[in-house]
Chains A and B, each alone.
Chain A
Amino acid sequence: MAKVKEKPYFGRAMKRVEDPRLIKGIATYVDDIDLVGMLHAAILRSPHAHARVSSIDTEAAKSHPGVVRVLTGADVNPHCGTIPCASPLPGQNSPDHTVLAGDRVYFVGHPVVVVVAKDKYAARDALDLIEVDYDPLEAVIDPERALEKDSPLTHPDLGTNHAFTWSVGDDPTKLLEQADHIIKVRMVHQRLTPMAIEPRGCVASWDEGQGFLTLWTSTQVPHLVRTLLPGLVGAEENKTRIIAPEVGGGFGSKLQVYAEEVLACHLSRRLGAPVKWIEGRRENAAATIHGRDQIGTYEVGVKKDGTVLAVRSHTIADLGSYLQLLTPAVPTLTGLMLGGCYKIKGVRMDVVGVHTNKMATDAYRGAGRPEAAYAIERLMDIVADELGLDPVAVRLKNMPKPREFPFNTATGLTYDSGNYQRALKEAQRLAGWNALLKQRDRARKAGRLFGVGVSTYVEICALGPSKIMAAGGWEWGSVKIELSGKVTIATGVTPHGQGQETSFAQIAADRLSIPIDDITIYSGDTATSHFGRDTYGSRATALGGTAIVLSIDKVIEKGKAIAALLLQSKPKKMEFKAGSFFVKGRKRNALGWAEIATEAYIAKNIPAGFEPGLEASSFFEPPNCTYPFGTHIVAVEIDRDTGQVKILKYVAVDDCGKQVNPLLVEGQVQGGVLQAIGHALMEQTVYDESGQLLTGEFMDYPLPRASDAPEYVIGSTETPSPSNPLGVKGVGEAGTIGATPAVANAVIDALSPLGVRHVDIPLTPERVWRVIQAAESHPPVSLMVPDEDRKGGRK
C-alpha cells in the first residue's frame, strides 16, 4: 500500500473525485438509460385548474403508428395505490391522490391520460390525438378567499378548503401586553418553482420471472421510494430495487414519491416491457412540487430599548390541491424556527393549511426555514426602523450569548451550539462595515437609493432524531476493507451534486489512514446501500458521515483482534495509528491493513469465535438536530428610473461547524445565495385568477443568470456541533435561508429614505418602481400599532 500522507484530508479544499465523468459527458443520468425493448410514456395533462372530465376519446391515439397502449385514470387507478403524504397533521382534511385524474382535474398539469409508444416521438404525437371534454369549474386560487364561507371548493367532496390548523408556542398575549410598542406587519411570501435543470424522469423495469421491480429514477430519496412505492404497484419491498443514477439537481423537488414513478412501474408490469418517462420543462414547471407560498400576519411586542418580548403570527399556507410527501411539514418548520437566533420569550405561530387548485407546495431548498428567517429578519429591521435604532444593535441586544448554549427556544427546540456575535463581527469585518455605511451616507446625500442589509440567521439541519421525523431520522453506512486492501464504503445518503463521493472519502481516508484513491463510495442504489434515509434537510454529512465513522471504528476493533493474535498480545493492548496495528509501545512490530485484511478473509489465523471478514455497518441515531447559523451582508443600489436593483457587495459568513471540504462548502453557499437572490429579486410562480399557470417555462420564470451573480465574499466561523462526533452541522440550505432576508433588507433600506417600511418579495424592477412612485406621492405609514388601538391597553 502507498505511504499515507501526513496532512489530514479532513478540512482540505480538494477537487472532486466525481467530476471527471461529469466534465467528459460520460456520466449516466436517467434519460441516458436505454434498455432492450424499452417503451416510452408521455402524459396528457389538464389545461384547466378545476374541471369535470365529461369524456375522453382515445381511439385515434390508439391507432397511431407506434402506439402500444393508451390508458386513462379509469384504467390505471384501480390497480395502483394513492400517492402518499408522510407527514399528516392531526385532524387533517385531504383528498386521496390518485395516479391519474378521475372524473375531475384539480390543477393545471394534473395527469389525465398516458400514452405508451415504441418511441418518444410517436408517444408525443399521440397526445395530440386524444380528445378530452372538460366542463370547467370555478377554481380556488386565492388562499385567503378559499377560507371564506362562500368560497368555491378545491375538492367539493371534502366540503372545505381548510386542510389543518397547527400551532406552536404558548399564547404570548401577556408578553405582548407588557411591551412598550406593538408592531404589526402582513407579509406575503411568494410561491417558487424549484426548476432543477434536469427535469424529473424514470425508467421502470418489471421482471415477471422473478417478480422483481427495478426503478431508475431522478430522485433524492431512493430509500424512501423503496419503502413507500412497492405497495402502490403490488410489488414486494424485498423484490424492489430503486436506483438514483446521476441526478441533475433536486433542491427538494425530487424528495418525493411522484405519481409518474408509480405510473411507470405499473405500466412496465402491465405491458411486460421497460418503460421510460422523461418530464418536459413545461411539465416540470406545472407538476413538480412548488415551494414557499405563505401569507403571514406578524405582531411583535418590543420594549423601548429594542428588546423583543414576543412574536405572534397567524400564517396561511397554500398547500395546492394535493398533498405530496412533506407538504404539511413545511410550514411547521417555519413555526418552529420563527424566533430565529434570538432570545424571545414568547413565540407563537398558528398555521392554517389551505387547499387551492394549484400544484402542491412542498420542501423546496430550505423548506419552511427560509420563510421563518425571512419573517424574523424583516421584523428585526422593521423594529429598528420604527424605534429609530440601529438594526445591528437590535440584533445584538436580542441574541443569546455563546455561554447560553445549548439554548432552549420558546418553540421547544434546543439549539446545539452557537456564537452568533462572532459570525456577525466577521461579516462586518469582511464587508468593511464602517466604510460601507459611509458610502451609503454619501450616496444618499447625492440623492441615490443605496441600501445595506443584514441578516443573522439560524437554521435547523441534520434532520434529525427519529422521534421528530415521520419515518426514521437515523442514517446508515457500511465500510468494507477488501482482501486487496482497497476500501468499499456504502452510504444511505444520496448525493446529487453535493460531492460526498469526495468528502466521505476524505473522512474515511483519515480515520483509516488509507490513501484517498483506494476508497470508493457507493450511494443511490438500494441494492448496495442497504439502508438509508437519503439526502435532504442538510443532513448527509452530519448523519451519513457519522454512520461511516462508526463503522470504521468497528472495523478497526476487528483489526485489533486479528493483530493481537498475530502479535501474540491482547486486543486491549493494541493500538491503531497511522495505518498500523501494534502493541502499545512496540511500534516496530506493526501490521498494516493489507496483512490484517488477508488474515480476516483467508481466515486460517483468526481468534477463536472471530467472525471472518473485515467489514461493519452502522446506524447513527443523532441525539439532536444541528443549528448552523451565520450573517449575510448585502449592499445594493436601486436605479430610481427603472426600479432595477444592483447588488454591489455580497458577504456571507456561515458557520456550519467543522468543514470537511471548504471548497465544497463554498460551492454550496454560493449556489444557495444566488438561488436566494432569485427568490428575493426575481422569481415568482404565478397563477392567474382562473388558475392558469403563467410561469410555465424559463421564458416566464426567471432563473438567475451568470450576469446576475455578484462577486461573492465568502467567510466562515467554526462552532463545532455537539450533535455528532464529526462536529459538522450541514450547509446545503444555508444560502437559501440566510440570503433572502439580507437582500430584501438591503433593498428596503435603500427605499427607507422615502418612508418605505416593508415591500413583499420578489423585489422586481416593476414592484420597486411602483413603490418609489407611490412613496414619492404619499406620506410614510408607520407599522407601529397606535396605543389607542391596542386591545387591553398598555400595562
Chain B
Amino acid sequence: MTIPVKVRVNGTLHEESLEPRVLLVHFLRDVCGLTGTHVGCESSICGACTVLIDGQAVKSCTLLAVQADGSEVQTIEGLATDGELHPVQQGFWECHGLQCGYCTPGMIMSGVQLLDRDPKPSRDDIRHGLEGNLCRCTGYGHIIDAIEHAAKQGGRSWRR
C-alpha cells in the first residue's frame, strides 16, 4: 500500500506515492537525494537528522514522511541562498564549530530555530537550546561560539 504525499522541500514540490512506514529522513535522503541530513541513532536522541518543518526543528528519523504531507521542509542544503551561507553556517565556519561534521547539519538547523525564537540568546540559553543535539568531537565550546557569532550578525529567519 502506498499513500500520496505532497511535500515542499527547500522550495521544490515533491509529489510521491510512499509506503506509510517510510521515515522522513529516508524520504529526504533516498527519494529527494538530499543526503546532508544524517542518521545517528534512529531514536530522536542525537539530533543529526534535525530538519525544519514549517519552521519547527524536528528529528526526521522518528517522523514518517506521510506526517509531513502538505508541509514545507527545510534541510541543510536549502539554508544557503544564492551561494551565500546562512549566518549560522558562517558562524560554524568562522568559529571552528565542527570537526568530523556529522552532527553539523542537525546542529545548524537547531541553531537556526534557536535564533528564530530568541535572536539574542545568552551562552547558557544556547547550551539549553542545543541539548537535543549530540556532538562527540567539539565539546560544544566552539558551537556555542558559532551561534553567538551568528546572533551578532543578526541571525536570519528560515523564511525567505
A748 to B144 Cα, complex, angstroms: 30
Q: Which of A14-22, A150-158, A341-349, A602-610 contacts B (4 or more CB under 8 A)?
A: A14-22
A712 to B145 Cα, complex, angstroms: 12
Contact A707–B131 (Cβ < 8 Å): yes
Instruction: Give the Cβ gap from A779 to chain B, nearest Cβ, in Å.
Output: 40
Whether A251 contacts B136 in the complex (CB less than 8 A), given A31-B39, A709-B144, comes out as: yes
Count chain B CB atoms within 10 A of each CB in A197, A251, A666 and give the residue with the most. A197
Whether A29 contacts B102 in the complex (CB less than 8 A), given A197-B46, A709-B139, A709-B144, comes out as: yes
Whether A675 contacts B89 in the complex (CB less than 8 A), given A197-B134, A248-B38, A664-B96, comes out as: no
With a cutoff of 8 Å between Cβ atoms, the chain B residues found around residue A643 in the complex are none
Contact A281–B40 (Cβ < 8 Å): yes
Contact A697–B99 (Cβ < 8 Å): no
Q: Among B92, B134, B141, which residue has its beta carbon within 8 angstroms of that of A698?
A: B134
Query: 10 nearest interchain CB pairs?
Result: A25-B36, A248-B102, A25-B76, A22-B101, A497-B100, A674-B139, A497-B99, A670-B139, A32-B35, A698-B45
**Which A residue sits closest to B133, measured CB to CB?**
A706
- Asked if A247 is at the interface of the complex by the 8 Å CB criterion, the answer is yes
- Asked if A671 is at the interface of the complex by the 8 Å CB criterion, the answer is yes
Report B63-93 CB contacts with A as 1/0, cut-off 8 Å. 0000000000001110110000100010011
- Asked if B7 is at the interface of the complex by the 8 Å CB criterion, the answer is no
Contact B141–A25 (Cβ < 8 Å): no
Contact A25–B37 (Cβ < 8 Å): yes
Q: List 10 A-B contacts (CB under 8 A).
A: A15-B96, A31-B29, A31-B39, A121-B19, A197-B100, A197-B102, A249-B136, A498-B99, A670-B139, A698-B43
With a cutoff of 8 Å between Cβ atoms, the chain A residues found around residue B94 in the complex are 15
Report A321-347 CB contacts with B as 1/0, cut-off 8 Å. 000000000000000000000000000
**Interface range on chain B (Cβ under 8 Å from partner):** 35 or more
A250 to B85 Cα, complex, angstroms: 28
Which residues 104-160 in B have Cβ within 8 Å of A in the complex? 104-105, 108, 123, 126-131, 133-144
Q: Among A20, A249, A281, which residue has its beta carbon within 8 angstroms of that of B102?
A: A249
A735 to B34 Cα, complex, angstroms: 35
With a cutoff of 8 Å between Cβ atoms, the chain A residues found around residue B127 in the complex are 706-707, 709
Whether A23 contacts B43 in the complex (CB less than 8 A), given A498-B99, A664-B96, A671-B99, comes out as: no
- Asked if B52 is at the interface of the complex by the 8 Å CB criterion, the answer is no
Instruction: Give the Cβ gap from B17 to chain A, nearest Cβ, in Å.
Output: 15
Instruction: Give the Cβ gap from B31 to chain A, nearest Cβ, in Å.
Output: 12
- B→A interface (CB under 8 Å): 19, 21-22, 29, 34-43, 45-46, 48, 75-77, 79-80, 85, 89, 92-94, 96, 98-105, 108, 123, 126-131, 133-144
Q: Among B46, B89, B135, which residue has its beta carbon within 8 angstroms of that of A24?
A: B89
With a cutoff of 8 Å between Cβ atoms, the chain B residues found around residue A385 in the complex are none
A664 to B98 Cα, complex, angstroms: 10
Whether A706 contacts B99 in the complex (CB less than 8 A), given A280-B42, A671-B139, A674-B140, comes out as: no
Report A516-542 CB contacts with B as 1/0, cut-off 8 Å. 000000000000000000000000000
**Which A residue sits closest to B21, measured CB to CB?**
A121
- Asked if A435 is at the interface of the complex by the 8 Å CB criterion, the answer is no
Report A562-574 CB contacts with B as 1/0, cut-off 8 Å. 0000000000000
A23 to B77 Cα, complex, angstroms: 9
Which residues 374-394 in A have Cβ within 8 Å of B in the complex? none
Contact A23–B133 (Cβ < 8 Å): no
**Which A residue sits closest to B77, measured CB to CB?**
A25
With a cutoff of 8 Å between Cβ atoms, the chain B residues found around residue A19 in the complex are 92-93, 98, 101
**Which B residue sits closest to A250, measured CB to CB?**
B100
Q: Chain B binding site: helix, strand, loop or mixed by DSSP?
A: loop
- Asked if A109 is at the interface of the complex by the 8 Å CB criterion, the answer is no
Contact B102–A671 (Cβ < 8 Å): no
- Asked if A663 is at the interface of the complex by the 8 Å CB criterion, the answer is yes
Contact A673–B36 (Cβ < 8 Å): no
A31 to B39 Cα, complex, angstroms: 9
With a cutoff of 8 Å between Cβ atoms, the chain A residues found around residue B99 in the complex are 249, 497-499, 667, 671
- Asked if A496 is at the interface of the complex by the 8 Å CB criterion, the answer is yes
Contact A711–B96 (Cβ < 8 Å): no
With a cutoff of 8 Å between Cβ atoms, the chain B residues found around residue A197 in the complex are 38, 40, 46, 48, 100, 102-103, 134-136
Which residues 688-712 in A have Cβ within 8 Å of B in the complex? 697-699, 703-707, 709, 711-712
Which residues 123-180 in A have Cβ within 8 Å of B in the complex? none
Whether A23 contacts B46 in the complex (CB less than 8 A), given A675-B139, A697-B41, comes out as: no
With a cutoff of 8 Å between Cβ atoms, the chain B residues found around residue A15 in the complex are 93-94, 96
With a cutoff of 8 Å between Cβ atoms, the chain A residues found around residue B126 in the complex are 706
Q: Among A23, A247, A251, A497, which residue has its beta carbon within 8 angstroms of that of B89?
A: A23
Contact B131–A22 (Cβ < 8 Å): no
Q: Among B19, B75, B137, which residue has its beta carbon within 8 angstroms of that of A25?
A: B75
Contact A707–B77 (Cβ < 8 Å): no
With a cutoff of 8 Å between Cβ atoms, the chain B residues found around residue A195 in the complex are 136
Contact B138–A667 (Cβ < 8 Å): yes
Which residues 663-681 in A have Cβ within 8 Å of B in the complex? 663-664, 666-667, 670-675
A436 to B19 Cα, complex, angstroms: 61
Whether A699 contacts B43 in the complex (CB less than 8 A), given A24-B89, A25-B36, A663-B96, comes out as: yes
With a cutoff of 8 Å between Cβ atoms, the chain A residues found around residue B143 in the complex are 706
